[in-house]
Amino acid sequence: MNKENLGPFRIFANSNYSLYFGGQLVSFIGTWMQQVALAWYTYELTKSPFLLAVVGVSAQLPSLLVMPFAGVMADRMNRYKIIITTQTLAMIQASVLAYLTLTHQVAVPHLIALGICAGVINSFDMPARSAFVINLVDKDELPAAVAMNSSLMNVTRLIGPAMAGFIVAAWGAGICFLLNAASYVAVILALFLIRGDFRPKPKAKRGMFDELKEGLAYTYQTKALRYVLLLVLTFGLGASAYILLLPMFVKQIGGEAQTLGYLMSASAAGSLAGTLLLASRKTVKGLGKWVVAASFLFSLALIGFSQINSFWPAACVIAFIGATMMLMMAACSTILQSVVEEDKRGRVMSLFAMSFMGTAPFGGMIAGWIADHYGFQKTVLGCGIYCFITIAFFARKFMPKQEPPHAPPVEPEALKSDSGPGQILARFRNESATKSRV
C-alpha cells in the first residue's frame, strides 16, 4: 500500500519513530494516571482549592527559571542522552511519591517538593523531546509527527485518567504512583532500541548565556516565532486554570474519583479528535486561521462551562474545550517547527513550552485564590472572558495578508525574518516548488 494512502499514520513506516511512540504511549498513560490521582488525593487531603492549585502548579513553576537553559542544552548536547537521563530521574521521583503515599507518610510539603522536582526534570525533558522528533523523521514527515505526538498525548489522556479513577477507588492513589514509576521502563527500553547518530553537529563552542541570548534574539527578530510565543504566553495565563480546579467541580456535583477520571478522559477524547483533524492536513498553509478560530471557540466554550452544574453537559463541553485547545497548541507547535532553524530548535521549543507552562502557575495561583473566595463557576467565567480578549487582540497577527491580484511572487529570503504566522507559508510554497523542479 502507498504510504500516502495511510494519511497521518504513514509516519509509523519509520521504525525509529514507531519505537519512540510505543515507549511514550506506555509512559504517558502512567503520567496521566499520576496527575489525576495526585489532584484528587491533594483535594481530599486539604479541602482547599488554593492548596490544590499550589500543588498543581509546583510542577510548572520551575520552567520559568530552568527551561531557557535546558533549551540551550538541547541544542549543544546529545538530545538522546538527555531524554534517557530525564526519564530515569522521573522514574525515581514517581517511586518516592509512591513510597511516601503507600506508607502514609506524605504531607502537603512533600507533594510540593516532589512537584518541584518533577518540574525541573520536565524542564530539561520537554525541549529535548520536542527537538528530538526532528532527528527521527524526515522533513516531509514533520507535520504528521507533530500531530501524532499530540494525538499520543491525548490517547493516553483518554486511557490514563479513566484507569486512575478506578484504581484510586479500589486501591488508593499510591498504586497509581507506583504504576507510573513502572511505566518509565517502557520508554527507557524503547530509547535503547532506537538506532542512529544523534550527536549534535559540531560548531564553535560559546558560553551558555551567549547561546541563550542568541536564541532569544532570533526568536524576537522572527515575527512568526514572536507572535506565536506571545499568544501562548498570554493565553496560557487563563487557559489551564479550569483543569487544575476540576476536582472542586467534581465535588460540587457530588462526584468521586471516577467522575474526575471520566471528565479528564472526555477532555482527552476531544483533544484526540482535534489533533487527528490537524494530522490529516498535508500542508501548514492556513494554520494561522486555525489558531485564531480554535482560540475563539475555546474561549466561548470555557464561558459556557462556567454555567454548567451537571455531569453529562460538562463532559460534552469539556470534550469541545479539549479539541479546541489542542488544535490551537498543535497548530502553534507546527508553525514553530516549520520555521525554526535546526541549530536553534531546542532553544525555541523550550521557549514555546515555557511560554505556556511559565504563565500557567501564576494563572493557577490566581484562579485558586479566586475560587476560594468566589467559587468555581465565577473563576472559570473570568478565565473564559480573559482568553476571549486575548485572542481578539492577537487575531490580526495570525491572519494572512491579502495579496493584490497578479502580484509577483514573494521571494523566500524576504520572508525569513519579517513575516507573521499567517505569511510563513509563502516561503515554504516557493521552496516546495523549487524542489519539485529538481
Q: What is the pLDDT of residues 197-229, one digit of tens each?
A: 777 665 656 677 788 788 888 988 888 888 889
Identify whether the C-beta of residue 126 lies closer than 8 Å to the C-beta of residue 350: yes
At residue 2, the pLDDT reads: 54
- Residue among 374, 409, 371 at smallest CA distance from 242: 371
The rounded distance, in Å, linking the Cα atoms of 398 and 224 is 9
How distant, in Å, are the alpha carbons of 356, 391, 424 from that of 394?
16, 5, 16
The rounded distance, in Å, linking the Cα atoms of 330 and 119 is 22
At residue 419, the pLDDT reads: 43
Identify whether the C-beta of residue 173 lies closer than 8 Å to the C-beta of residue 40: yes
State how far Cα 287 lies from the chain centre.
17
| Residue type at position 14 | N
Cα angle for residues 58, 64, 65 (degrees, 5° grid): 100
- Residue among 235, 233, 385, 367 at smallest CA distance from 299: 385
At residue 72, the pLDDT reads: 82
How many Cβ atoms are within 10 Å of 26's Cβ, its own excluded?
18
DSSP state of 6: G
The rounded distance, in Å, linking the Cα atoms of 183 and 26 is 6
At residue 284, the pLDDT reads: 67
At residue 362, the pLDDT reads: 82
At residue 438, the pLDDT reads: 35
DSSP state of 172: -
Give the three-class secondary structure for 378.
helix
The rounded distance, in Å, linking the Cα atoms of 105 and 179 is 19
Cell of 11: 509516519
Q: What is the CATH number assigned to the segment(s) 14-196+208-399+412-437?
A: 1.20.1250.20
Backbone angles phi, psi at 168, to 5 degrees: -60, -40
At residue 339, the pLDDT reads: 83
Which residues of the chain are modeled with pLDDT < 70?
1-8, 200-206, 282-284, 398-438
First-to-last alpha carbon distance for the chain, in angstroms, is 26
At residue 203, the pLDDT reads: 61
At residue 415, the pLDDT reads: 32
Sign of CA dihedral 376, 380, 381, 383: positive
Would the pTM of this model clear 0.85, i.e. be above it?
A: no
DSSP state of 255: -
State how far Cα 406 lies from the chain centre.
41
